[in-house]
Amino acid sequence: MKRLIQLRVNGELYEVAVHPHWTLLEVLREELDLTGAKKGCDAGDCGGCTVILDGKPVFSCLTLAVEADGRDILTIEGLAQNGQLHPIQNAFVEHGAIQCGFCTPGMIMSAKALLDENPNPTEEEVRQAIAGNLCRCTGYVKIVEAILAASQGGG
Amino acid sequence: MGLPKFEYLRPKTIQEACSLLSQYGDKARVMAGGTDLLVKMKDRAVTPQYLIGLSGIPNLDYIEADAEGLRIGALATIKSIIDSSVIQERFRLLADAASKMATVQVRNMGTIGGNLCNAAPSADSAPPLICLGAKAKLVGPKGERVIALEEFFTGPGETVLKAGEILTEVQVPNQPAHTGGAYQKISRVAVDLAVVGVAALVTLEGKDGLCSEARITLGAVAPTPIRAKRAEGVLKGKKIEDGLVEEAGRVASEEARPITDVRGSVYYRTEMVRVLTERAIRQALE
């Protein structure tokens, strides 16, 4: 039996009927058409599904939709405001931190969560913060540079 | 492939959770953060028909210090353990190990109760807690009991939990003055399980700074986390110097019983027990 849940995603309230075995990732992508979060490994290893739940970055592929009921979710789609990219998004573009783009939404959510908690991270802290986000294209250097630049108000 | 179908139950109290668990027996599993269980379910390694979500039970995630020591609710996340100022000040070893677990995302979701009950031989929270002399409170339909964590694990993925029992609290006694601890971990990549984990806790006493207490617990090198009691004996009652630390490392590596698996060989793990035990003792002394 489906259960009716309420999700506050990017500031908007959604009411969705979900099966208990649906993950938050599946509901975001398939019920809400928010396909920014990616189903990479679907097992909590790649970080492509990273969203911010009640202020903390989590793997949405390992979060049951029913357990996200009533909670606040921020996805990549919620970062740009009035057509303007978020400084972290800008920094990624400016620093060439995006190649295929598949890891990017998850990577940026982890970066945002880091900078919200620690506005002036060291390089080591940036690397630790994105340790749960795999990138097969870039080798991470530009990603780390972009995040450090964003933290310094650049980007 | 996604998760297999199940019915989701969300009890509001521990008693309700225990009674649901007893009622459905083998067909049910409890879930805290889900970071271990849901992965196993996606692999179809476990397929419960009923999932009992514990996150609806209020006040299970506390970290409280009192006159006797620390009490940690089973649903305290790994992140909350890292951030806890009382743990950082008085039980630093535990915060140290917690900060080395998995990824940011898993540390936000995963819980201390889940890490212990999942009972991987490599569980990072176990060696530190065993060194600290921690106990676990288990609540079941017939009442509660408190077990030393050292006796909690019976094999890979196996614990003394009986049908219907849920681990609700971890109790850590206060440590004597001049006690220091450290957790050393080696893994293939930063976010991986431990290939070898070593926790060391030492207490120094008197103006000579003799070691009055030494506890060394090894993870990922036996079916469960194990105390390296002979290595501890090398240090106890003596003034700890380089030669002694090296000997403790050697003895600890003899006490380890690792297997060869995808993460490391018997030879490598045995050698790393020696190295990490030395490093853990030295760091604990600091």
Whether the CB-CB separation of B149 and B116 falls below 8 Å is answered with yes
Residue A154: the pLDDT is 62
Residue B6 corresponds to which tokens in the numbers above? 């199940």
User: Burial of B22 by CB count in 10 Å (0-12 exposed, 13-18 middle, 19+ buried)?
Assistant: middle
Q: What is the mean pLDDT of chain B?
A: 97
Among A19, A22, A59, the residue with its CB nearest the CB of B105 is A59
Interface contact B4, partner A, CB < 8 A: yes
Query: What percent of chain A is predicted at pLDDT more than 90?
Result: 97
B208 pLDDT higher than 90: no
Residue B98: the pLDDT is 98
Q: 3-state DSSP call for residue A4? A: strand
Interface contact A2, partner B, CB < 8 A: no
CB contact under 8 A, A21 and B5: yes
Residue B19: the pLDDT is 96
d(C-alpha A35, C-alpha A30), whole Å: 8
Query: What percent of chain B is predicted at pLDDT more than 70?
Result: 100
Which is it for the CA torsion B128, A43, A32, B1, positive or negative?
negative
Rounded mean pLDDT, A126-133: 98
Put simply, the chain A residues between 135 and 154 with a CB less than 8 A from any chain B CB are none
User: Burial of A39 by CB count in 10 Å (0-12 exposed, 13-18 middle, 19+ buried)?
Assistant: middle
Considering only CA atoms, which of B222, B236, B225 is closest in space to residue B199? B225
d(C-alpha B105, C-alpha A150), whole Å: 21
d(C-alpha B21, C-alpha B163), whole Å: 8
d(C-alpha B181, C-alpha B87), whole Å: 12
Q: What is the DSSP letter of B47?
A: -
d(C-alpha B233, C-alpha B228), whole Å: 9
Among B2, B42, B51, the residue with its CB nearest the CB of A20 is B51
CB contact under 8 A, A21 and B103: no
Which is it for the CA torsion B231, B233, B236, B242, positive or negative?
negative
Whether the CB-CB separation of A60 and B34 falls below 8 Å is answered with no
The H or E element containing residue B27 is none
Residues of chain A contacting residue B51, judged by C-beta atoms under 8 Å apart: 20, 64
Torsion (CA) A28, B76, B166, B135 in degrees, nearest 10: 160
CB contact under 8 A, B105 and A44: yes
Whether the CB-CB separation of B73 and B168 falls below 8 Å is answered with yes
Name the residue type at position A17.
A
Whether the CB-CB separation of A106 and A75 falls below 8 Å is answered with no
Distance from CA of A139 to the nearest CA of B (A): 15
Interface contact B58, partner A, CB < 8 A: no
Considering only CA atoms, which of B281, B91, B256 is closest in space to residue B200? B281
**Nearest residue on chain B to A47, judged by CA atoms?**
B105
Q: Where does chain B have alpha helices with state H?
A: 14-24, 37-42, 78-83, 85-90, 92-99, 104-109, 112-118, 126-131, 229-235, 242-255, 266-285
Q: Please work out, in degrees rounded to the nearest 5, the angle formed at the alpha carbon of residue A27 by the alpha carbons of B108 and A13.
A: 85
Residue B265 corresponds to which tokens in the numbers above? 């060989």
d(C-alpha A129, C-alpha A111), whole Å: 7
Rounded mean pLDDT, A88-114: 98
**Nearest residue on chain B to A54, judged by CA atoms?**
B108
Chosen for mutation from A27, A31, A62 (greatest number of chain B CBs closer than 10 Å) is A62
Q: For B214-235, what is each residue's pLDDT tens digit?
A: 999 999 999 999 999 999 999 9
Q: For B145-164, what is each residue's pLDDT tens digit?
A: 999 999 999 999 999 999 99
Residues of chain B contacting residue A4, judged by C-beta atoms under 8 Å apart: none
Torsion (CA) A125, A129, A131, A133 in degrees, nearest 10: -150
Residue B119 corresponds to which tokens in the numbers above? 């009972």
Whether the CB-CB separation of B107 and B90 falls below 8 Å is answered with no
Interface contact B53, partner A, CB < 8 A: yes
Rounded mean pLDDT, A88-94: 98
- In DSSP terms, B145 is beta-bridged to B138
**B196-205/B179-186 β-pairing:** antiparallel
Q: What is the DSSP letter of B256?
A: -
* pLDDT confidence band for B197 (50 / 70 / 90): very high
Q: Largest Cα–Cα distance of chain A, in whole Å?
A: 50
Q: Largest Cα–Cα distance of chain B, in whole Å?
A: 64
Interface contact A33, partner B, CB < 8 A: no
Q: 3-state DSSP call for residue B65? A: strand
Q: For B37-48, what is each residue's pLDDT tens digit?
A: 999 999 999 999
Whether the CB-CB separation of B239 and B212 falls below 8 Å is answered with no
Residue A1: the pLDDT is 87
Residue B200: the pLDDT is 98
